[in-house]
Structure 1
Amino acid sequence: MEEYKRRIIRIIKHIDEHLDDDLSLEKVAAIGAYSPFHFHRIFKLITGETLQNYIIRKKIEKSALYLALKKNVDIKEIYMELGFANHSVFNKTFKKYYGQSPSEFRRSAPESFHKILQVESKNGQVDTVFRQYICNVENLLNWRTMNLKIKVTQLQEMNLACVMSLGLADVEKSYDILIDWAKRKQLFPRENVKMISVYHDSFKVTPPEKVRIHASMLLDEQLMEQEGEVFPEIIETGKFIIGSGEVTLHDFEKCWASLFLWMNENHYSIRKAFPFEIYHSNFKEHPEEKMIVDFCIPIH
């Protein structure tokens, strides 16, 4: 099973980086050195969904993120970039996932600070509903002022060793695998070691159990190849909004929401890179379960 996971990780990374390319079963299976039939079964076993469903979901989620954060970009430009044949196909597929048209979705997000949830209705059908964040905008702004220091800065390239987590529930397990690997390499424990969570999906558009998170450790030198479930990733140099604070795990949602609000208020736009968290302390070692965290958003 570990070998299967390693190969599936390689495939998932390829899919996410090539959503506008040919992602036929045969071509994707070949990346992991599988036969199409065998790959189809293994992929569903590990991810819980078929390859086709995964690809469509990722495209729709990415389009939802663009609709919410890039309101000046034409809808046609968005769906064409993601490989949808025409507006009718895109509109129908988007509505299936989110219960409203792309233009309706764009009007409702993100200023109203809604969070997308999947719930079952009385007749057993999955409907898309919205609920407000735990704070209204005014309270969120006050909380941000009191708890986060925000700056815009250039970060240098970061070399990471990562273990993939599919869903929030597996993040701690992924870090355990990473730390066991680092201990064998004598990379842990060491002074000022930094753990980083890289979010390859947004909780605004992806159900929590499907969000892909890379549990990562900052390395002094680049990891040259995958070792079991541990694989290399590079955060490229670039400009970032960084919100820093001492917070609890329950505050993370407010941190991210307030930072994206700050981004919009100050007329920055997110670029094609992944947001991440850098941990400077361990909440398990704090009497109030607080930790010092940098929340980082890549911007132009």
Structure 2
Amino acid sequence: MEEYKKRIIKTIQYIDHHLDTRLSLEKIAEIGAYSPFHFHRIFKMITGETLQSYIIRKKIEKSAFYLAVKKTIGIKEIYLELGFSDHSAFNKTFKKYYGISPSEFRRSAPGSFHRILAVESKNGQVSTVFDQYICNVENLLNWTKMNLKIKVADLQEMNLASVMSLGTANVESSYGILIEWAKKKHLFPKDHVKMISVYHDSFKVTPPAKVRIHACMLLDKKLEAQEGEIFPETIDAGKCVVGSGEVTLNDFEQCWVSLFLWMNENSYTMRKAFPFEIYHSNFKEHPEGKMWVDFCIPIH
């Protein structure tokens, strides 16, 4: 199973970087060093989805995020970037997933304080529900002032050893795999070791059970090659909005919402890079379950 996961990780990374191209079964199977027949079966066994379902879901979720958050980008620009040949094909696929057209979705999307859900009604029809994260903006801003110190900082390049987690329920076990690997390499435990979570999907548009989170460890030098489920990952140097504070796991959602609010109100835009968390302490070692965390959004 470990070897299967290692090769599926390569294919998922390839898919994510090529959503704007034609992704054929044959090409992706080749990336994972499988025959097309065996790859299709193994991909579904590990991810719980067929390859085609996974690709379509990734394209549509990404388009939904752009429609809701980046309202200055034209719909045509969005669907062409994601590899849809024309408006009709994009419109039909989007409506099948969210129950309404992309233009209706954009008009009804309330912005950065809501989670976007696709819900099937009793008659089998799909409808879109915007589930509110935080009701009162003023209360959120007051909470932020008390709990987070927000700044814009230029962060250096970070070389990571990473383990992919499919779904929030599997993050802890992914860190377990990473720590066991690090112990064998004599990289853990050490005082300066930092753990980092990189979010490759947004909770705004992706169900928690399907969100991809990379459990990572910051390394002094780059990992040259994949070792089992451990693979190299790099966070590029650049400007970030950084919110720092001592919080509990239950506070994480508020931290992220408030950080994106601060980013928007200060006229920053997100780079094509993934948000991440840097942990400076372990909540399991604190009597109140708190930990020091940097919440980071890469920006222009």
TM-score, with length taken from structure 1 = 0.96
Which whole-Å CA distance do the structure 2 matches of 1:136 and 1:99 have between them?
28
Deviation string 1:43-101 (CA, Å, 9 cap, x unpaired) is 00000001011001111111112222221111100100111111111112112222222
Matches for 1:43-58 after TM superposition, within 5 Å: 43-58=43-58
Answer yes or no: is the 8 Å Cα contact 1:160–1:222 preserved in 2.
yes
Compared CA separation, residues 145 and 294, structure 1 to 2 (3 A)? same
Pairwise CA RMSD: 1.3
Which whole-Å CA distance do the structure 1 matches of 2:72 and 2:55 have between them?
26
Matches for 1:1-300 after TM superposition, within 5 Å: 1-111=1-111, 113-123=113-123, 127-300=127-300
Q: Percent identity?
A: 79
Paired residue type of 1:185: K
Deviates more, 1:32-41 or 1:132-141: 132-141
Paired residue type of 1:171: V
Deviates more, 1:65-74 or 1:108-117: 108-117
Paired residue type of 1:164: M
Which whole-Å CA distance do the structure 2 matches of 1:145 and 1:192 have between them?
28
Answer yes or no: is the 8 Å Cα contact 2:96–2:126 preserved in 1.
no
Q: CA deviation at 1:104?
A: 2.5
Answer yes or no: is the 8 Å Cα contact 1:69–1:270 preserved in 2.
no
Which whole-Å CA distance do the structure 1 matches of 2:107 and 2:259 have between them?
20
Which whole-Å CA distance do the structure 1 matches of 2:248 and 2:202 have between them?
20
Deviates more, 1:90-99 or 1:147-156: 90-99
TM-score, with length taken from structure 2 = 0.96
- State the aligned residue count: 300
**Structure 2 gap ranges (5+):** none
Which whole-Å CA distance do the structure 1 matches of 2:172 and 2:181 have between them?
14
Deviates more, 1:92-101 or 1:72-81: 92-101
Answer yes or no: is the 8 Å Cα contact 1:118–1:207 preserved in 2.
no
Answer yes or no: is the 8 Å Cα contact 1:70–1:269 preserved in 2.
no
Q: CA deviation at 1:110?
A: 4.9
Which whole-Å CA distance do the structure 2 matches of 1:146 and 1:297 have between them?
20
Deviation string 1:124-160 (CA, Å, 9 cap, x unpaired) is 5554322211442121111111111100111110000
Which whole-Å CA distance do the structure 2 matches of 1:164 and 1:204 have between them?
20
Q: CA deviation at 1:37?
A: 0.6
Answer yes or no: is the 8 Å Cα contact 2:109–2:130 preserved in 1.
no
